[in-house]
Amino acid sequence: MALRPDLAIIAAAVPTGSRVLDVGCGDGELMAALRDQGVDARGLEIDPVNVTAAIARGQSVVQGDANRDLADYPGDAFDYAILSQTLQTTERPDRVVDELLRIAPRAFVSFPNFAHWRVRLDLLWGGRMPVTRLLPVAWYETPNIHHVTVSDFRDLLRAKGIGVEAAWYLSGDRPTSAAAATWRAEHAIFLISR
């Protein structure tokens, strides 16, 4: 089974032999792909059903909450931390980013771009929070509590003095350029470091 496009980009960028913590690892799909390419991947997941599924795949996963449990990991315990499609669900994304870069010198962070032109258009014309392929549920049942945009995330990184080593943008499941990414990208993936 093929990886989700953002996960495929992350998997391709993680070097063999790396130690990785996948925060919000879901059912362990990315961790399995990383293991297959010689990466020591561990996971932290809040949903007990996903934890069970990941363990059934042979993954090393603990149940926990990124908002509180990242503080229990020692500094520089991993080479990379991964937070894919989870940033917008955390209580304090700024603190979670700090924790990622405390436990690993580099982190991949991916999120749906809430400033994509279709989202803007739905708000403008329909006056409602959109339901899209990447935002598939109504506003009242969504886990997304922070509606982050590419520009917002770049501003956060700049304010914290965090560097961007690489960034990828997806429109649909295809890469798109950084030009006007806030407008054109449905999804953003950043490799960040201090």
Which CATH class for the 5-193 domain? Answer: alpha beta
Q: Rounded distance, CA 61 to CA 50, Å?
A: 9
Residues in the chain: 194
What pLDDT is stored for residue 106 in this prediction? 98
What pLDDT is stored for residue 188 in this prediction? 96
- Who has greater pLDDT, 22 or 126? 22
**Measured CA distances, 48 to 28, 54, 98, 114, 164 (Å):** 12, 10, 25, 28, 33
Would you say 79 and 19 are in contact if contact means Cβ atoms under 8 Å apart? yes
Mean pLDDT over all residues of the chain? 91
10 Å Cβ neighbour count for 113?
26
Point out the least confidently predicted range of 24-28, 60-64, 81-85, 123-127: 123-127
**Would you list the domain boundaries of the chain?**
5-193
Residues with Cβ within 8 Å of residue 154, at least 6 apart in sequence: 164
What pLDDT is stored for residue 144 in this prediction? 65
What pLDDT is stored for residue 134 in this prediction? 67
**Angle, to 10 degrees, between the axis of helix 93-103 and the axis of helix 150-160?**
60
Confidence of residue 147 (pLDDT cuts 50, 70, 90): confident
pLDDT digits (tens, 9 = 90+) for 43-94: 999 999 999 999 999 999 999 999 999 999 999 999 999 999 999 889 999 9
Q: Rounded distance, CA 114 to CA 87, Å?
A: 12
